[in-house]
Amino acid sequence: MGQQQHPQKKSQTIKVKTVDVGDVDRFNPRNRIYVRKTDGIWTQLRRRMGWVMMLLFLVLPWIPWGERQAVLFDLAERKFHVFGLTIWPQDLILLAFILMMAAFGLFFVTTFLGRVWCGYMCPQSVWTFIFIWFEEKIEGARNKRIKMDKAPWSWDKLWRKTAKHSAWIGVSLLTSLTFLSYFNSTSDLYIDFFSGSATFTVYFWALFFTGATYGNAGWMREIMCLHMCPYARFQSVMFDTDTFIVGYNTDRGETRGPRGRKQDHKALGLGDCIDCNLCVQVCPTGIDIRNGLQYECINCGACIDACDEVMTKMHYPKGLISYTTERNLNGGKSNVARPKLIGYGVAFAVILAAFFYMLVNLSPLQLDVLRDRNSLYRENASGLIENVYTLKLINKSEQQQIFNLSLLQLDGHQWQGPQQVVINGGEVLTVPISIAIEPGSLTKPVVTVIFKLTNPTTNATVEQESRFFSRI
């Protein structure tokens, strides 16, 4: 009896078709990406993180904090209020530290976990998935939506399209007003907007951000990720062979092909991939992850969930598509503690520590000293040398405070002006004063002096250096 011959397993080389995406009109319904609904551990995680982010965004402006809302970026008064913290223009160095933390935090996360920010937390992705959710609820599943767009207009198509776009516009308007609430009194904004008494500026920006949200999440979608977002372009600089990516195991999956559930696919010379194309249908950017790592992949994990579901139905092991590394896919062992990742982590930790140090030691008062620009000095009626100053005092706290003023490093001076002032919370007070001294008390024409502002209740102090001019 002759030996049974089995078909030879084909080469694992995957031919990748080059597509010029620039020639694809995504606004044409026939070229649109219709995202298929999927479920699984990564999809559930993404949804939960998206809803948490959305709820925080919506709720924060409504939280009261004393006489104002908890988070308010008051551009008119040039103050940023974040719960009990008020950041003045003089404290904007904190903003630089926040931006540096965001940059190095993004570098660290991207080097370690790839584009998880894009897939799980990026507002573009979060709002796009929310819009897709409304699309599925109103127009139906993926195949039904494709069929509807190809069909001629009917009453059913008209009311579903109208309902979908109305929902999109409603979410966009809510997003727009919520965003504006971070810069205006929330209750006043909504009352004025819907009563027609808001300013032209408010209506302009409300409509602008409504249109931007509607266009980005409803129509642009993956176009933003593929062509307009700079992060998608420079992410490869941070990637290495140990970065976690969404990867397809070609050794296990190839050769692809359909088969019956009870058939021995290995006897047929097939890999675990049944070529169902579900991984492409659930992808929000429309790529085929089986073609390898692509910059369009946002690491959302939708294809992992779709593939795992198919593997479960076929009684194959899960993980044909998984979060893995290029080194793992090539049979090696990933190295987590690598110099670049450690460097990003250390830089982030140092900047974070410096930020909190500055935050904890943020002075609740500010003193600026301005000299009289009209003259360096003058002699008064008593023959004393006199310098005129304008003191600008800022009470950064939210309570009324009493402050004492004094001058250091000029013995025998006479202070002309108030030396104790009361400043309301968040108020800037301008105090004109003059300092006079006997000419014989000075040994040089320019003396360095220090103005001191003290809160006797808290013992908080701030000092500001200036100059006292005289004649020889």
What digits encode the pLDDT tens for the residues 21-63? 444 454 454 578 999 999 999 999 999 999 999 999 999 999 9
- What total number of domains does the chain contain? 2
Q: Are residues 188 and 246 in the same domain?
A: yes
421: left (phi over 0), alpha (psi -120 to 50) or beta: beta
- pLDDT exceeds cutoff 60 at 15: no
Task: For the chain, give the longest Cα–Cα distance.
Answer: 131
- pLDDT exceeds cutoff 80 at 318: yes
In a domain, 12, yes or no: no
What digits encode the pLDDT tens for the residues 357-381? 998 888 888 899 999 888 888 888 8
**What letter does residue 9 receive in the DSSP assignment?**
P
- Three-class SS of residue 391? strand
In a domain, 117, yes or no: yes
Q: Are residues 356 and 369 in the same domain?
A: no
Q: Are residues 346 and 385 in the same domain?
A: no
Q: Are residues 215 and 180 in the same domain?
A: yes
In a domain, 3, yes or no: no
Q: What is the pLDDT of residue 28?
A: 54
Domain that includes residue 246, residue range: 19-362
Q: Are residues 233 and 298 in the same domain?
A: yes
Q: What is the pLDDT of residue 13?
A: 41
In a domain, 357, yes or no: yes
Last residue of a domain, one of 316, 333, 362: 362
Give the pairing of strands 401-408 and 461-469: unpaired
Confidence label for 238 from pLDDT (cuts 50, 70 and 90): confident
Show the CA angle centred on residue 252, arms to residues 249 and 258, nearest 5°: 110
Confidence label for 471 from pLDDT (cuts 50, 70 and 90): confident
Q: Are residues 381 and 353 in the same domain?
A: no
Q: Are residues 344 and 373 in the same domain?
A: no
Q: Are residues 284 and 244 in the same domain?
A: yes
Last residue of a domain, one of 308, 328, 362: 362
Q: Are residues 322 and 386 in the same domain?
A: no
d(CA 192, CA 169) in angstroms, rounded, equals: 20
Q: Are residues 425 and 302 in the same domain?
A: no
Last residue of a domain, one of 336, 362, 388: 362
d(CA 213, CA 217) in angstroms, rounded, equals: 6
Amino acid at 165: H
Q: Are residues 413 and 352 in the same domain?
A: no
- pLDDT exceeds cutoff 70 at 2: no
Q: Can you give the pTM of this predicted structure?
A: 0.82
Q: Are residues 358 and 377 in the same domain?
A: no
d(CA 2, CA 229) in angstroms, rounded, equals: 62
- Give me the chain's average pLDDT, please: 88
- pLDDT exceeds cutoff 70 at 314: yes
d(CA 388, CA 437) in angstroms, rounded, equals: 12
- pLDDT exceeds cutoff 60 at 18: no
Q: What is the pLDDT of residue 23?
A: 46
Confidence label for 273 from pLDDT (cuts 50, 70 and 90): very high
Alpha helices in 37-91 (DSSP H): 41-59
d(CA 121, CA 110) in angstroms, rounded, equals: 13
What digits encode the pLDDT tens for the residues 66-104? 888 999 999 888 888 888 888 888 888 888 999 999 999
